[in-house]
Amino acid sequence: MGAGSSCCGGSEKVEPGFATPSSVLGAASVGGSAWRIYTYKELHAATGGFSEENKLGEGGFGSVYWGKTPDGVQIAVKRLKPNANASKAEMEFAVEVEVLARVRHRNLLGLRGYCASGADHRMIVYDYMPNLSLLSHLHGQFAAGAEHALDWRRRFGVALGAAEALVHLHHEASPGIIHRDIKASNVLLDSDFAPLVADFGFAKLVPDGVSHMTTRVKGTLGYLAPEYAMWGKVSGACDVYSFGILLVELVSGRKPIERLPSGAKRTITEWAEPLIARGRLGDLVDVRLRGNYDMAELARMLEAAALCVQGEPERRPDMRAVVRILRGETKAVDGAAPAAGKGDSGVQAQPAVRLKSVKYADHLMENESSVYSAEGDEEEDDKEDERRTDSSEVEEYSLMDDQSSMNFGVFGAMPVVPVQTMRDPYVRRFGGNGVKI
């Protein structure tokens, strides 16, 4: 992980190395890398026996636990469920560890280590992020309260940091990496609210010269690019689309898909499109901010979002262009001048571009499932990539009813026991009379 990230325990930086699936699963050598192999006994002790009180989140992959090592480092341990299809589970584990080991950027969650013990124990170890995920602050247990921690300065910082992380994945990593699951629960927040893009379980390495691939759809409806959700065509432009949805979510505090009183479902772009068309940018801003935002930054975020969510993937900017827009380094298109000054809901600005929402197929929107990963195909990924995707495999990840525990990011949005009250396995206990027990 890069120097810009921090661990709640104040641990030293870990520089990830490189791994291949065979070297990871063999666990015989890490090629001189600085991350390490943990034993099951070490992680069992650090997490208090994987106790419920130390659980940070859970989902289809398994569970994530808070832990503390003997030298005082706070960690998060992603413990994968044993899978009936052992070979597929082994490969998914190996791919995630390999991708984590390849990335080095201040806004990407790096690899601290892993455990591959016996037939059933597959665990990945990260630095613990004390502010959990962006989802926790937008829609989860930290969303309420008069003093909302996610102010405008932090939101804009999250947008820019996450964009820079995607630039590294798409354009600086070799080979390039498509994340495939950019969403609020996969953007973690450190003690300073700096963002770290996480969870590379669905990531794809892109060989040189390859512009796109066709694969089985995995991800979260609401963030999925239409060409990917319906036909399985995946490219870097899919991450760009997801990031555009994330930008509107950051600005508005709304969920990617919402249920209307009538029972119908509406995407966040369908809600935002008419407001942007009328230049009513201030009406898109989360009411929890109480009008405290920067209008120029708002205009740039919405300009970038409108470009990112265009229906045709070839019309979307790459992430380098998105970063330039967010920084104000490019001129607004169509001759529209960005607004300036502090936010005021009474001050409106004509957007540089119009957002045109793209609707998912009706059968996808009608799905009530909150499962976010398509299952049921037992072929290995390299065989899956050769066939056309059946769009019926896509299932909806639902945040309709504020079921914030139904979150499958690295750190869940389930109710969390504050770290300071969690049982520390390396602290001696005291009885009521002050005697050590």
Annotated catalytic residues are: 181
- Angstrom CA distances, 430 to 221, 433, 434, stand at 49, 8, 6
Helices (H), 57-216: 86-102, 134-138, 152-167
What is the C-alpha to C-alpha distance for residues 227 and 211, in angstroms, rounded to an integer? 14
What is the C-alpha to C-alpha distance for residues 389 and 371, in angstroms, rounded to an integer? 18
Helices (H), 253-318: 268-277, 295-308
Q: Which residues of 297-332 are buried (b: 16+ CB within 10 A; e: fewer)?
A: bbbbbbbbbbbbbbeebeebbebebbbebbeeebeb
The bridge status of strand 55-59 relative to strand 62-68 is antiparallel
Q: How would DSSP label each residue in 358-371?
A: -PPPHHHHT-----
What is the C-alpha to C-alpha distance for residues 247 and 138, in angstroms, rounded to an integer? 12
Cα dihedral value 73, 202, 183, 186, nearest 10: 0
342 appears as a binding residue in the annotation: no
Dihedral-angle region of residue 210 (phi above 0 means left; psi in -120 to 50 means alpha; beta otherwise)? beta
Give the tokens for residue 123: 């665990």
What is the C-alpha to C-alpha distance for residues 219 and 3, in angstroms, rounded to an integer? 29
Rg, C-alpha atoms of the chain: 22
Cα dihedral value 332, 335, 341, 344, nearest 10: -100
Annotated binding site for ATP: 78
Binding residues: 78
